[in-house]
Structure 1
Amino acid sequence: MKIDPQQAGQDRLDLATALKELRRASGLSGERLAVRCGMSQSKVSRIETGRFLPSVVDVQQILRALGVDDPTAADLLSMAQVANAEYEDVRTSVRRGLHHRQRELAALELGARHMRHFLPAMVTGLLQTPDYMRQAMSPAVEPAGGDVSRAVALKLERQCVLHDQSKRFEFLLTESAVRWQLCDASVMAVQIDHLVSVSRFPNVRLSVLPLTRRVTDAPFHTFVTYDNRLVTVELFSGQVVLRDPKDADYYRELFDFFAEHSAGEEDARAILESWADGYRAESMRERD
């Protein structure tokens, strides 16, 4: 699926209008269509007025109930895929204020019960120490502006969610993510020690994927799944949000694939501790 950020919003409106017109052309009432689709009448009404964004599965059910021809159905399903994806570029995020991004993430974490973070490039905010965090939020190439101090404070506040025993967290980090030397060696050692500490939380499973493991696929980008309803994908230029259940299932399966090759529990902690010891030794050499 090719995502056009400018087109997604328009496709939501066009999709609602098209479904309403097809239902009227069929001669079915909204109530009758709801029965055929196994939906509530209020849901059908909200879809047709644009107040509720239907998933691709929802659209498939409606089109099947209306007996829509294959070419028309293909066009509308493609439209539904784009409508269920959002993209925000990093410059827009900075203009809005970096702290807004932290509040949005906090809201996603509050509403989810099971979160899975696949981290091939760097440590995620929920696991970062303050020194690592400040460096991560001050990259070498950055759009002008952005209140980093305020965003850092909110990111640290977000970490309280890790203590909520009603939630489950899975973090899968590649060796590259853990050992990428974003900061001085002493800061890196403390950061890795922190990963070991968080891995002992009863509602957290933290795994690492060493470079010595043979894996038959490549880790292209960071992503996070929130239950089985939403996925966020991180890019250099911004973030993509996917709401289609099929996309959520795909990324959950992808997480499982990489998890099968990773080390967890005590094995992960032993690996992390060895990497932290390496940075401590390097820090001592730098001081000498």
Structure 2
Amino acid sequence: MSTPESFERERAELAEQLRRLRVAVGMSGTAVAERLGWSQSKVSKVETGRVTASRDDVRLLLDVYRAPEHKRRELEVRAEQLNDRYRSLSMLRKRGLHRVQEDIRRKETATAMVRTFQPSMVPGLLQTAEYARVVFSQPLSKAGVDVGEAVAARLSRQSSLFDPEREFSFVVTEAALRWRIGDSATMSAQMDRLANLSTLANVSIGVIPWRTQVPEVPKSGFTVRDEREVSVESFTTHRMLTDPRDVDFHLTLFAMFADCAIYDDHARDFLADLAREHA
């Protein structure tokens, strides 16, 4: 089983191998940073294991070092495995879900356009405090979690919704809004919250009624930040995809689902009906 200790050890081993490859080609950390357009501190953090290098970062470094093919395959796979383990939900809980929420907030702060599709629950940026509390308190989710801290951190992210310089587009399914995550009061208040947020000029909230035929089976939720990365969460993992092909695929998928949704007054009427049903 993965542990924080084994993760740190294996990250340090990858970092040391990358450092040795740099030394072998006679380059300084500053020279590598200049070649890649990175800060020198980023190279240092990668080589000391203070950060987990992404597979893309490792690939760029190996290009500079002209590493042999067998070494490339080995280190790229190790980097991908480390990133997957870092984002396994059990590992994230050990870090503290409030810290995870803070990590996400920092990413969102640096993002001009956020697109989120969610087929099974209300997206975190749109959740009321009580809805979020129920989410973080579910049996398989709450182990080792400080629910109060996690809820507070999630709610702090929502201030970004009121920044007119940034855009948010959410598409949720009717099923996501009908699942009884909480009691009647919680669900009814959540529908009201969605309707209110949908009036913000920089926030778009679309709902796909379940009688609408969709072009693809909605297998999982995802978030695309600008056009550079995709976050996909399952029951046990949180994947971050940066390959341009993956990003393009999810942008296309989002557009397809968005075309199926209802918006504005139509969506608000729909949400009002759901609020009454939940009450």
Smaller-chain TM-score range? 0.7 to 0.9
Query: In 2, distance between residues paired with 1:252 and 1:264?
Result: 19
8 A contact 1:125–1:155 mirrored in 2: yes
Matches within 5 A, 1:1-288: 8-26=7-25, 28-30=26-28, 34=32, 37-39=35-37, 42=40, 44-51=43-50, 53-85=52-84, 86-90=86-90, 93=93, 99-143=98-142, 146-149=145-148, 151-185=150-184, 187-228=186-227, 231-237=230-236, 239-242=237-240, 245-246=242-243, 250-251=246-247, 253-263=249-259, 267=263, 269-274=265-270, 276-281=272-277, 283=279
Deviation readout 1:10-41 (Å, 9 max, x if unpaired): 44322222223233334x33379639944468
Which amino acid in the other structure matches residue 238 of structure 2?
A: V
Aligned residues: 276
CA distance in 2, matches of 1:31, 1:146: 39
Does the 8 Å CA contact 1:131/1:187 hold for their aligned counterparts? yes
SS in 2 for 1:171: strand
By how many angstroms is 1:277 displaced? 1.4
Report SS of the residue matched to 1:261. Answer: helix
State whether residues 192 and 275 of structure 2, in contact with CA within 8 Å, keep that contact through their aligned partners in structure 1: no
Q: Indicate conservation of the 8 Å contact 2:191/2:274, yes or no.
A: no
TM-score, normalised with respect to structure 1: 0.74
3-state DSSP of counterpart to 2:87: strand
* Cα distance change on mapping 1:169 and 1:271 into 2, 3 Å: closer
**Do the aligned residues in 1 keep the contact of 2:11 with 2:82 (CA within 8 Å)?**
yes
Contact 2:124 2:154 in 1 (8 A): yes
Q: Gaps spanning 5+ residues in structure 2: where?
A: none
Unaligned stretches of 5+ residues in structure 1: 284-288
* Counterpart contact for 2:224–2:250, Cα < 8 Å: no
SS at 2:205's partner residue?
Answer: strand
| C-alpha distance in 2 between matches for 1:125 and 1:35 | 36
**Letter in structure 2 aligned against 1:89:** L
Matches of 1:41 and 1:143 in 2, distance apart?
A: 38
Match of 1:286 in 2: none
Q: 1:182 to 1:212 in 2, by over 3 A?
A: same
Cα separation, 1, equivalents of 2:141 and 2:65: 49
Give the secondary-structure state (helix, strand or coil) at the position aligned to 1:205: strand
- CA change 1:263–1:129 in 2 (3 A) is farther
> Would the alpha carbon gap of residues 120 and 101 (structure 1) be closer, same or farther in structure 2, given more than 3 Å must change?
same
Deviation at 1:178, TM superposition (A): 1.7
Mark the structure with the bigger radius of gyration.
1
8 A Cα contact 1:11 1:82, kept in partner: no
Identity %: 30
Aligned alpha-carbon RMSD (Å): 3.8
Q: Which amino acid aligns with 2:166?
A: K
Separation in structure 2 between the aligned mates of residue 189 and residue 35 of structure 1, nearest angstrom: 52
Mapped contact 1:170–1:204 kept (Cα < 8 A): yes
Kindly provide the CA deviation profile for residues 178-202 of structure 1, in whole angstroms up to 9, marking residues without a partner as x: 2223244554344223212212211
User: Cα offset for 1:177?
Assistant: 1.0
CA contact (8 A) 2:32 2:43 kept: yes
Residue 245 of structure 1 aligns to which amino acid in structure 2?
T
Whole-angstrom distance in 1 between the partners of 2:185 and 2:33: 63
